[in-house]
Amino acid sequence: MAKDRVLALSGGVGGAKLALGLGRVLPGDALTIVANTGDDFQHLGLSISPDLDTLLYTLGGLDNSATGWGQRDETWNFMTALKKLGGEAWFQLGDRDLATHVERTRRLAAGEPLSSIIDNFRNRFGIAARILPMSDDKVRTRVKTVEGWLDFQDYFVRQQCRPAISDITFAGAADATMLPGFRDALTDNSLRAIIVCPSNPFISIEPILAVPGVRSAIREAEVPVIAISPIIGGQAVKGPTAKMMKELGIEASAAAVARRYGDLIDAYVVDHADAESCANLGMTIVPAKALMETIEDREALARIALDAADQVMAAA
Ligand code: FO1
């Protein structure tokens, strides 16, 4: 049985870049991506799934590479008209992006599961990789600030991550059921590697790991788990990772992220700038150019992660 299937765990921007690289270096449908849904929320009556949409747009070639979210070549007529009506305008919804939220909301209201909707959308976007939510059940990331608990998008977008946070929780995770397709991917005998994409560990990867059964299923898969550091030289490539880590009392470093993942991972791909500081972590360290600026960077990093998995498997 050829071990040729790969499972990637991903959040938004950073994860989607690597997922694109993986999708380009792997044949057809060999790649399954499980996305964080903790960022999801209801806004203006719409069901919004940012990390799923970033993956759909990135792999579908529709992404806005400047922002990392929403679609390219957007128009903003809806937002302009909404502002005129005094509507909530802090969360920017482009006209093309709006169609995704409206159609998803309609289908959810008609009883279609989120996973089925996303699978239909990725087929329509011509994406060969499977893109799955971690669960079809509601899990919502919330952060604790001096003002009390905030919903993630309220903190992240409306308040631009200004409030200092002291805790983070994934409301609903304990009662969420792992998506069957996710479990199937983990028990697939032809699984070659599990890749933890370079997304923010707290807001993107840990919600996935918080779904009951995920951590044990990863362990039981007995497949190499390779993580790519989201921190390069002590600075989060994009987003508030470093600030959040500091406020949560965790050193904003590649090594601290590896310690956070602990024995879940077999090897850790880090930028050359961080290789030395990660040398004594008790796991295989793979130095690489972790900053993905070009499509070639994305493919090269994907190959490095896959090679690391093959090395771990060969040494097992
Ligand atoms: N992030 C922002 O900082 N500002 C926005 O106005 C914004 C709008 C938006 C619309 C659709 C969507 O799918 C994502 C959007 N994001 C926006 C990003 C969103 O907050 C994501 O949750 C983050 O990128 C973290 O994953």
165-192, pLDDT tens digit by residue? Answer: 999 999 999 999 999 999 999 999 999 9
Nearest-angstrom CA–CA distance, 301 and 308:
10
> Which tens digits make up the pLDDT trace of 198-244?
999 989 999 999 999 999 999 999 999 999 999 998 776 666 888 88
Of 91, 206, 243, the one to substitute when testing ligand 1's pocket (max ligand atoms within 8 A of C-beta) is 91
> Which tens digits make up the pLDDT trace of 99-135?
999 999 999 999 999 999 999 999 999 999 999 999 9
Q: Which residue in the block uniquely carries the two structure tokens 């977008």?
A: 157
> Which tens digits make up the pLDDT trace of 241-294?
888 888 999 888 999 999 999 999 999 999 999 999 999 998 999 999 999 999
Helices (DSSP H) in 7-110: which residue ranges? 13-25, 50-59, 77-84, 95-109
Q: Which atom of ligand 1 is least distant from the CA of 199? A: 26
pTM of this structure? 0.97
Residues 6+ away with beta carbon under 8 Å from 292: 14, 17, 18, 21, 298, 301
| pLDDT above 90 (res 21) | yes
Domain 5-64+115-315, classified CATH 3.40.640.10, yes or no: no
Contact criterion met (CB below 8 Å) for 274 and 189 = no
91 lines ligand 1 (CB under 6 A): yes
157 lines ligand 1 (CB under 6 A): yes
Average the pLDDT over 142-158 and give the result. 96
Contact criterion met (CB below 8 Å) for 284 and 266 = yes
| pLDDT above 70 (res 47) | yes
- Mean pLDDT, the chain, integer: 95
Planar angle of CA 300, 304, 307, nearest 5 degrees: 135
What's the CA-to-centroid distance between 184 and ligand 1, angstroms? 30
